[in-house]
A and B are shown apart, each in its own frame.
Chain A
Amino acid sequence: MCQFKLQTCNKYLLLIKKMLVACLLISPTLFASELASIEPSAGLVYQTQSGIKHSAPLLRSRVEMHVNGLINRVTVTQIFENDSDNWINATYLFPLPENAALDHLSMKIGERLIIGEIKEKQVAKKQFAQAKVSGKKASLIEQKRNDIFRTEVANIAPGEKVAIEIEYQQSIQYKPGIFSLHYPMTITPRYAPPMPRLSRAERYNYLSNLLTEKHSEQQHLFWNDRWDWWLQNNENQQLAEQTSVVIKDKSDPDLLVELKIYLHSPLEIESINSPYHNIKTEKLGASLQLISLQDETVIANRDFVLNWQVLQSEQAKSALFVQNIGAEKYGLLMMMPPATQFTEAARINKEVIFVIDVSGSMSGTSIEQAKSALSFALDQLAENDTFNIISFSDNSEFFATNSLPVDNRSKAMAKVFINQLQASGGTNMQVALKDSLRGKRTVYADKETGLRQVVFITDASISNEQQLLTQIAKLLGKSRLFMVGIGSAPNHYFMKSSAKMGKGSYTSIGDVNEVNRKMSALFEQLSAPVLRDIQLNWADGSPVDYWPQPITDLYQGEPLQVVFKIPDGKKALQIAGIKFAQNRAKPWSQDFSLQQQQNAQGIDVLWAKEQIDSFDLNRELSNLEKQQKITALGLKFHIVTKHTSLLAVEQKVSRPRVIDSVNKQVKTHLPQGNTMRLPQTGLGSELYKQLGLLLLVLVALLWIFESCFYKLKSDLEGVCR
């Protein structure tokens, strides 16, 4: 009997001990789960900080693309839905491909349809502001950057839906055998370098110098330039601010996109794929396919890319398209370089300067991609090449003072240098460009046959594009600039334009898995220049009005695409340039007859767009001349440019005077993989102290408890005896 009691007592003791130990083990995890439950409510505090809580207007985009040959016509419908109780003026900053020509706007409110008109930017802005104040529904499309546009919609009533439909045209990219189109969905927040503030005296000085007409033309230009520079800086700051309006937590509604592509191709398509999204294809006819997303909608946090391959045998060497519009004729010429297969013998010795961006915006997966791209590129260098590496953030750092010849030792040293790179700080690209292009540190380069190639690896999260492009044009000299875009949403416009300016090419790497494939393609190309100093003439020797101008160098596997205006009576076109073969350069030319033409649509818009881009990059024109020329072209071809905007205004007044409307900007998603954030500043030392104390107290309690119990038990035993 007594033994039985003792046994039960022992059992209880064991049970209690087990429970206590279990509690001890569980307590930290309990603690942690409690922590997790605190955080979301802390997020809500942030939401209501601004005072009154306005919910952002919900936006849904529907994209429909019609691809026809080399031209892609896209309709984007942005449906703004106001689910708040206020009248709302919505603003939405959105990206478009950098070669997009936006030429149509319509606004649909229920059954009413208002077609937008092209206006000069300032005029459109003023009329929109008037409509906004007077309570009319209106929408305005402005170009903020070549690849960033802004939709503004005024006076959306509570519970109302307004559909803004815009159309743009884009040319399809073509690399040997592969066509690809690219639809950007998100904007990397832009970084604006700190701007020196104008003091009051300086501002007066600027203005008085601008307004007085007494001094010479040259002086006037100087002050104009200073003033423009200041305005430009100011605008950069604003854009940087606007791009940082992003979705931060789960309580913000997701931005959703619906996508449909009608792919019309006269050539037989071998395969279609999208590297970042799941797609499904459906055959609608002999040469028509419908491509849509696997899920109905996707979250707009990563660029959409579609590649399709045509059967190799049907690949044309060159193709000429012609469009007749009224009395005017436009032509589009596409040509594959007239080169043979790449051979080792044809390799040209080169000096390669790698420039890698290690600024804070590259942190996360971007820097890893950049590093692996760089180490892969190192391995691609040939024996007779020389190389150097420059890393930059706020300042630039050289791997070696002079370019080094490629051998095992220098490669190993370079790898060590690459491994220790870490992303932090600002994006001071000016310094990097200066250091890489100035090229004073070269000793090994062979001036005659050698090539100096600068490979620039960056996400280009900068907003002072114009200043940088001007700098490239100034410093380029004999170097060629190759841009490698890293991350899910690099600044495509800047990358493309600087590659164009630097007479090189642009490669975009969106995923780590693509590094090897794309970098080896780039290096194969780098080693094999085919044509340089290309020019176009009519067969009778008269000059051609063609764009882009100048035409960039042609490398192995790169097509040449030129748009031109055809005057009456011209029958044949001649292309001339300098061709590389066997490490030697020779003059070369080829004739094209306009008789074997194919008809096409949209070349006029393409022509206008190319012309606008070329004006924009032309350093010989003053800003005023540029503005006049671009405005004229924009108005003639109905295209949204830097200086022209599309505006749609409803004549009816819909918002009652007594009610005010609230301005809201649609929050956009951060590009996937972007980990740029404010520094982490909580060590949690308090937590450690508390947890430690808790454990100690528990141990003490257990100890006391246990000894009491032991005493109790031995008492019991004594009783039993």
Chain B
Amino acid sequence: MNNADAIAIDKRRWRRLSLFHKSLLIVMLAGLLIFGKGLYMQGKALLAQQLLTFAWARHLQDGELHKAWPWADSAPFAQLSIAGQDPLIILSGATGSNLAFAPAWMVSTAPFNQGGNSVLVGHNDTHFNQLKNIKPDDDLILTTYHNSALFFQVIESKIVHEKDLSVLQASPQELLTLITCYPFDSNIVNSDLRFVVIAKRIKDARSSIGLAWLENAKKRSLTKSSL
């Protein structure tokens, strides 16, 4: 085996290896991008909630409308806490852009505190992941824009098909309906099933427990915003 041959082999190998490594690099970049996109979606949802919470705290102090960031489309509309978990800020209008930041109230359904069926929608991989372990009798506390706390109790959770619009229908009872995609923690992107939680308004003594909790939550959000 002479020298020239060895060089030729070396060159061939180099070319082949470089191609392989190039493709590896490209795949790695793609992997990073895809991973980053997932991270970005969740980060955006998390960060938006933080900013919205600050805006909400300011709103609770002076009753004025505060946007979470100057170019935001919508301002905090209500606050919802699901079974004692971190409270979520609700926006008005279930559009794709709103849902990326927070759960949203469907404007075609009943307004809060006026009777009827109010429907909230949220993404199952971010905010409404909280619904995953919800049980009947769990408490939902909704603080409306005018700072009145409404107490709801979960009466039913069910899985429906996306074309089953019955859950949006008006009801004589005062209900809060939460809708998110089903199944949770799965890799299905456009699922045609929805997880629906239906809660009825309660106005009894039990709400005093909730009130104490709510005070705490308020304090917490106030301290957060003053930081």
Contacts and interface: CB of A to CB of B under 8 A. Distances in A.
Interface of A: 3, 14, 17, 21, 24, 31, 35, 38-39, 42-43, 45-46, 49, 189, 192-197, 237, 240-241, 244, 246, 248-249, 360, 393-394, 425-426, 670, 676-696, 698-699, 702-703, 706, 710, 721
Q: Which of A241, A426, A680 has the most CB of B within 10 A?
A: A680
Given A17-B20, A38-B186, A42-B183, A679 B121 contact: yes
Given A21-B23, A237-B170, A699-B27, A681 B180 contact: yes
Given A46-B160, A249-B161, A683-B126, 17 more contacts: A17-B20, A35-B188, A35-B189, A39-B188, A43-B193, A45-B193, A195-B116, A244-B169, A678-B194, A679-B179, A680-B190, A681-B128, A681-B194, A683-B41, A684-B189, A692-B38, A693-B35
Interface in B81-109: 94, 99-100, 106-109
Given A684-B187, A693-B35, A678 B126 contact: no
Contacts of B170: 192-195, 237
B192 interface: yes
Do most interface residues of chain B lie in helix, strand or loop, or is the interface mixed? Answer: mixed
A246 B163 contact: yes
A674 to B, nearest CB: 8
A193 B125 CA distance: 32
Contacts of B137: none
Nearest to B173: A197
B163 A682 contact: no
A360 B108 contact: yes
Contacts of A678: 121, 160, 162-165, 167-168, 179, 194
B167 to A, nearest CB: 7
A692 B162 CA distance: 29
Contacts of A17: 20
A689 B106 contact: no
B163 A676 contact: yes
Given A192-B169, A681-B99, A688 B110 contact: no
Given A360-B108, A678-B179, A693-B35, A248 B164 contact: yes
B31 A693 contact: yes
12 contacts: A38-B188, A46-B160, A197-B173, A678-B121, A679-B99, A682-B125, A684-B187, A685-B125, A692-B38, A696-B28, A698-B27, A702-B24
Interface residues of B, number: 68
A246 B160 CA distance: 12
Nearest to B187: A687
Contacts of B182: 42
B135 interface: no
Nearest to B27: A699
Contacts of B116: 194-197
B24 A703 contact: yes
Nearest to B118: A194
Most-contacted residue by chain B among A193, A699, A710 (CB, 10 A): A699
A193 B116 CA distance: 11
Contacts of B168: 678
B183 to A, nearest CB: 7
Contacts of B20: 17, 21, 706
Nearest to B43: A685
B124 interface: yes
Interface in B11-53: 16-17, 20, 23-24, 27-28, 30-39, 41-42
A101 to B, nearest CB: 32
Contact of B125 (A3, A43, A684, A694): A684
B80 interface: no
A688 B35 contact: yes
A429 to B, nearest CB: 14
B169 A699 contact: no
B134 interface: no
B21 to A, nearest CB: 8
Nearest to A720: B1
A42 B167 CA distance: 19
A95 to B, nearest CB: 18
A3 B186 CA distance: 52
